[in-house]
Structure 1
Amino acid sequence: MTLLDVPARPPALAPGKFRDPRLTARGEPRAVVEPGPLRTLWVNTGTLCNIACVNCYIESSPRNDALVYPTAAEMAPFIAEAEALGATEVGFTGGEPFLNRQLPEMLADVLGRGMRALVLTNAMKPMRHHEARLLALRAAHGARLTLRVSLDHYGAELHDLERGEGSFAPAMSGLAWLAENGFAAHVAGRAGFGGEDEAALRAGYARLFAEHAIPIDAADPVALMLFPEMDASVDVPEITTACWSILHKRPDSMMCASSRMVVKRRGDAVPVVVACTLLPHDPQFEMGGTLAEAARPVALNHPHCAKFCVLGGASCSG
């Protein structure tokens, strides 16, 4: 897959939606999020992954290198700039971040500055390859390093339906290894997966964690994050300026008010900054070559802005 293969607009959307960054299809002023103080810098470590999920918003797979591996040297200036701007956390996402062999070096850079580091991982073989370096980082920096493990459901059958047959067992093994070795570990699941409501899902995860002696509080919305689906086949409403008061939401609570993500696209000489973790491909959300350049307003001109952030109320960071 190439960047040209990534559709700029999901085909299921009603005509005219998410076309104009200023106005909705109905001619109403589109909601815009002003930048606030930078809290979280995200680094996309590359779109390559050891598995291919059915509904991966970024189309990660063992063959997709549309976003290539950035090096630790390339990320160092962004991490330093984030620190200077007051950010307290750097998150690493992919793809599977541990396929990037320089991830431990990037983590050491972040943690050595006194910042927190968060890694979103499937906890499978690529993570286990780095066990010794992870143990050293945990010993030196403790709970400032958090690993969030993707478990789409508390049951193997539904998890494997999304992530591939046989994927649940190694993911659980990796999560258990993290727990046994005292890592700060969180879990990410899918809201409404299998038709269950949130209470039923959290109860199911609680049973799973208890069974495997994993010290995660399933009632904690940060320790167990349940993310809404980002299905491009479902039409979603556009967000207008009036929606903030109607939905009782605040623009400064949106992910793009306090975070940015750095990506390196295949064929590009240098990384660039994009508005958020969900929109690495759409050129309208490319913000510049530095975090300072990227500190400008973001028009909510994409279905993910509505479905995931405003209506779903989700955030990739805690």
Structure 2
Amino acid sequence: MKDQLSTEKFVDPQITATGEPRAHVALRNVQTLWFNTGTLCNIECENCYILSSPTNDALVYLTAEDVTTYLDQLEDRNWGAQEIGFTGGEPFMNPHMIDMTRCALERGYDVLILTNAMQPMMRKRVQAGLLDLHATYGDKLTLRISVDHWDKGLHDKERGAGSFQRTLDGMNWLRDHNIHMTVAGRTVWGETDPQARQGYAKLYAAHGFAIDADNPAATVLFPEMDETVDVPEITTACWGILNKSPDDVMCASSRMVVKHKGAASPSVIACTLLPYSPEFDLGTTLEQAERDVHLNHPHCAKFCVLGGASCSA
């Protein structure tokens, strides 16, 4: 058996390179249904896991009709999700963003939008839409702002010169209109967790942002997802060794809807981090997406199992 196995990692969905059974995760206790609004973005980051840019339309725009279709399925399947998440690309590049958000809010879901809070969000039409949604639904709507580092220089190194100030301008607008926001940062900078949170706390205090730097749900610090770094494969034995449960991994509690360029319809992906990996495409319906997910990718190990990270709120 071992002689037939590839010596490379993350090849066989069922078996690791050392011949051990690969860990898998069942869908349980669903918390979040994600929608990728499209990979187009107003900027191109140095290390974007989804390769978003002003020209990458590998994932095309979803519409309010698409969202409604899957919200109907969500209720039919009785998943019990509490939250609808929107990610991109930059979600506010999508002309249907306000309508898609309203579709979810009017059904009673909490909505989380991941955004860089830059020019696409600051367009007058979008601002008017956000103000209307906030007036109607209040803190059921949360915008998670990408602030890769609390220091302007390091943030701009990742996102381009001037991006830190443009993001702060958007956050200032959200603050002035009492729209609930949280922050997502990165841990690539070599700081300890307390050092990073202290830096974010100073940034929030300087601008009057009502964001808790010490709350991991309000200031989410993501591990870097570098596919060139060697990471261990997760076997079924790892759950006991690491004292972790498969129920703690993101694909146990969420799925993501995407639409690939040229596809006839959207499809459901196991993980927000892996929209381009065919084996994590689970089908076109939520029913098809209820099957187990084998952790056959470096992100599964570094980001989710070992990093303990989750994109949900």
- The two structures have a TM-score, normalised by structure 2, of 0.95
- 1:17 aligned to 2, 9, 25, which one? 9
Question: Are residue 121 (structure 1) and residue 129 (structure 2) matched?
Answer: no
- 1:165 aligned to 137, 161, 165, which one? 161
Corresponding residue for residue 282 of structure 1: 277
Separation of aligned partners in 2, 1:49 and 1:236:
29
Question: Are residue 58 (structure 1) and residue 45 (structure 2) matched?
Answer: no
User: Residues 184-226 of structure 1: CA distance to partner in whole angstroms, max 9, x if unpaired?
Assistant: 10000001x3221111000000000000000101000000000
Residue identity (%): 58
Separation of aligned partners in 1, 2:248 and 2:138:
28
Shift >3 Å, 4+ stretches:
none
Which residues of structure 1 form unaligned runs of 5+?
Answer: 1-13
Q: Aligned ranges for residues 138-157 of structure 1 at < 5 Å?
A: 138-157=134-153
- 1:182 aligned to 178, 184, 204, which one? 178
Separation of aligned partners in 2, 1:277 and 1:83:
21
Corresponding residue for residue 47 of structure 1: 39
User: Residues 86-138 of structure 1: CA distance to partner in whole angstroms, max 9, x if unpaired?
Assistant: 21111000000000010110110100001111000000000111111000000
Separation of aligned partners in 2, 1:74 and 1:113:
15
- 2:73 aligned to 78, 81, 96, which one? 81
Given that 1:120 and 1:147 are in contact with CA atoms closer than 8 Å, whether structure 2 keeps it comes out as: yes
Q: Which residue identity lines up with residue 248 of structure 1 in the other structure?
A: N
Separation of aligned partners in 2, 1:198 and 1:265:
36
User: Residues 4-30 of structure 1: CA distance to partner in whole angstroms, max 9, x if unpaired?
Assistant: xxxxxxxxxx95100001110000110
Q: CA shift at 1:248, angstroms?
A: 1.2
Partner SS for 2:230: coil
Corresponding residue for residue 194 of structure 2: 199
Alpha carbon RMSD of aligned pairs, Å? 1.0
Corresponding residue for residue 312 of structure 2: 317
Number of aligned positions between the proteins: 304
Given that 1:38 and 1:82 are in contact with CA atoms closer than 8 Å, whether structure 2 keeps it comes out as: no
User: Residues 242-275 of structure 1: CA distance to partner in whole angstroms, max 9, x if unpaired?
Assistant: 1111111110111101110000000011000010
Q: Which residue identity lines up with residue 52 of structure 2 in the other structure?
A: S
Separation of aligned partners in 2, 1:20 and 1:136:
49
